[in-house]
A and B are shown apart, each in its own frame.
Chain A
Amino acid sequence: MSKGLEFSKKTKERLQAIVAKYPEKGAALLPTLWLAQREFSAITPEVEEYVAGLLGLSLVRVHEALSFYTMYTPQPLGKYHIQLCTNISCSLLGAEELLAYLKKRLNIEAGETTPDKKFTLSTVECLGYCGTAPVMRLNETFYENLTENGIDQILRKLP
């Protein structure tokens, strides 16, 4: 068993309920990784080992999934994760200009975290909000019809 890493009691109960939904335990891998990401904030090699043990899966299978899906993060991110859509409908309405603005404002490139660990900036593919483009996701909140001004206001209000 890995070094002291363990889900809280509540999360363990949730895990049990999730596993019960499938005829095979391994099918619960994606939702379990979600639980792990929320609880431990990143899926480090120790977390991978813990999850593999919980579901009776080989480490390889857990690792394979982890590296395939883009929403899991092996490293801790900044306190605020900004994900800007740069796909077609958002770009038609200025997403690439907003990306340049965000980079300048945060003084980092896409894929980087600010030195104070407050912001991570990513670009993502279509988020399914094309009718209110351009859009970004900040942690789990979507911000639609974005402008430079709007970005200023959103960022200024963050604690």
Chain B
Amino acid sequence: MPELVLTKNVGKKDSHTLGIYEQGGGYQALKKALLEMKPEDVIKEVDKSGLRGRGGAGFPAGKKWSFIPKEAPKPKYLTVNADEGEPGTFKDRVIMENDPHMLVEGSIITSYAIGIYQAYIYVRGEYTRSISRLEDAINEAYARGYLGKNILDTGYYLDMAVHPGAGAYICGEETALLESLEGKKGQPRMKPPFPAIVGLFQGPTVINNVETIACVPHIIKNGGEWFNNLGAPGVGGGIKLFPVSGHVKKPGVYELPVGTPLREIIYNYAGGVRGDKKVKAVIPGGSSAPVLKVEEIDVKMDFNSLAAIGSMMGSGAIIVMDEDTDLVKTLRILIKFYAHESCGKCTPCREGTGWMAKIITRIEKGQGESSDLDALLDIANGIRGRTLCPMGDAAAMPVQSFVTKFRGEFEDYIKRG
């Protein structure tokens, strides 16, 4: 078992308080960054770490930060994405509830590196405990002089606040999140301009996932190379949280090297399948990631290996389905989710998800027709790549992968009637 970095305090008494966090070496990275490092050195270290975004798209964090212009007419902002709405994903909550100061410290270091003086953490409204833990942590950090004016007597200052969401998956999409933070309905913006240039309140804005930012203090304390080497041999990229759910014996969040084989996570860590049944299908990266057949679960869990077999790492959420799973019903649940959450701004996603939901419901009720599967694929192909935000793709990919990889099961369903 590798040494734990992000989850080492999970389950410890009062792990969310400043005292316990400092006893474990908390805020030393902040001191190192502010007292010994120049902002650009912080970015360089994060670059070296191979840290790629943990929210879904896997964009290199250091590179994202370097897009922010040094001089800008409007204030710059950091917004931490704690919307965690992707079905199957429950990892950011574990950090916020158990170690909120790790996120606060990471946010301060990140803001310092980019020259930001205001940070917001956008937390989904349902996460009431995360919200209160973060608010308490922020208050403690202000009281200790880690936030506010003249931090550690360096002259650097930063304000931080929690912004509660109110139930809308689409607000996890970065530009919808900005709209929501501005008090509007959460509909994605046209890009360009990209948030790095025109973001929150028109200012240059960095948006990063909770887990991404929580890695930052560790990278600064121990070095980028150290973090990179925590990844699997030949893969690198550090450690990652893998939330595992579905038909496994021991569901939960597992912190493991990036590049750990999926089979190992399912059998060695999550205890294998309940009732010792066989695996039928696995979703490797949250509900939007194309499903894998059991023959594919030797894949390494890293961005490139998953992309190479036509899926994606996404949020790293692993959903395991045993041999008895009804995939028609499962796909119906997924399509209905996307249809429900489509923000309605663009036609292919708004209409397409609705049509797909109708067809899959009909198939499940035994009223499907033989042409329905091709119709589903046609609609999904028509959505893919033709929408304003990546949610259209997110809705199309499960349909394409389920129907293509398990076509026989869908056809049987239709034949049986």
Residues of chain A whose beta carbon lies under 8 Å from any beta carbon of chain B: 21-24, 26-31, 33-34, 55, 57, 61, 64-65, 68-72, 86-89, 91-93, 124-133, 137, 140
Contacts and interface: CB of A to CB of B under 8 A. Distances in A.
A130 B317 contact: yes
Interface residues of B, number: 54
A126 B287 CA distance: 10
B86 interface: yes
A86 B311 CA distance: 24
B89 A130 contact: yes
A134 to B, nearest CB: 11
24 contacts: A23-B75, A23-B118, A24-B183, A27-B181, A29-B183, A30-B165, A30-B183, A55-B183, A69-B125, A69-B166, A87-B287, A88-B87, A88-B283, A89-B319, A125-B85, A125-B169, A128-B90, A128-B93, A130-B87, A130-B88, A130-B317, A131-B245, A133-B245, A133-B251
Interface in B142-197: 159, 161, 163-169, 180-186
Given A88-B330, A91-B329, 20 more contacts: A22-B161, A24-B183, A26-B182, A30-B180, A34-B166, A64-B185, A65-B183, A68-B168, A69-B125, A71-B167, A88-B287, A88-B333, A89-B245, A92-B246, A93-B246, A126-B86, A128-B126, A130-B243, A130-B317, A131-B244
Contacts of B124: 128
Nearest to A65: B185
Contacts of A128: 84-85, 89-90, 92-93, 124, 126-127
Contacts of B86: 126
B304 to A, nearest CB: 26
A10 B136 CA distance: 19
Of the listed residues A22, A30, A71, A88, the one surrounded by the most CB atoms of chain B closer than 10 A to its CB is A88
A34 B88 CA distance: 27
B90 A21 contact: no
Interface in B388-409: none
Contacts of B287: 87-88, 126
B377 interface: no
B321 interface: yes
B182 A27 contact: yes
B247 interface: yes
A21 B333 CA distance: 39
Nearest to B330: A88
A23 B186 CA distance: 19
B158 to A, nearest CB: 13
B222 interface: no
Contact of B184 (A28, A65, A70): A65
A131 B201 contact: no
Nearest to A30: B166
Interface string B213-247: 00000000000000000000000000000011111
B253 interface: yes
B355 interface: no
Contacts of B243: 130-131
A92 B334 CA distance: 12
A159 to B, nearest CB: 21
Interface in B103-146: 118, 124-128
Given A61-B184, A88-B333, A125-B340, A24 B166 contact: no
B334 A88 contact: yes
B325 interface: yes
A65 B93 CA distance: 25
A88 B159 contact: no
B354 interface: no
A125 B153 CA distance: 46
A24 B325 CA distance: 50
Given A33-B166, A64-B185, A87 B90 contact: no
Interface string B324-338: 010001100110010
B252 interface: yes
A24 B337 CA distance: 33
B351 interface: no
Given A130-B245, A132-B251, A92 B325 contact: yes
Of the listed residues B166, B201, B246, the one surrounded by the most CB atoms of chain A closer than 10 A to its CB is B166
A22 to B, nearest CB: 8
B183 A125 contact: no
Contacts of A29: 183-184
B341 interface: yes
Contacts of A65: 183-185
A45 B183 CA distance: 18
A124 B321 CA distance: 21
Nearest to B244: A131
A68 B185 contact: yes
Contacts of B164: 30-31, 34
Given A27-B182, A125-B340, A131-B90, A92 B126 contact: no
B342 to A, nearest CB: 12
B87 A92 contact: no
A123 to B, nearest CB: 10
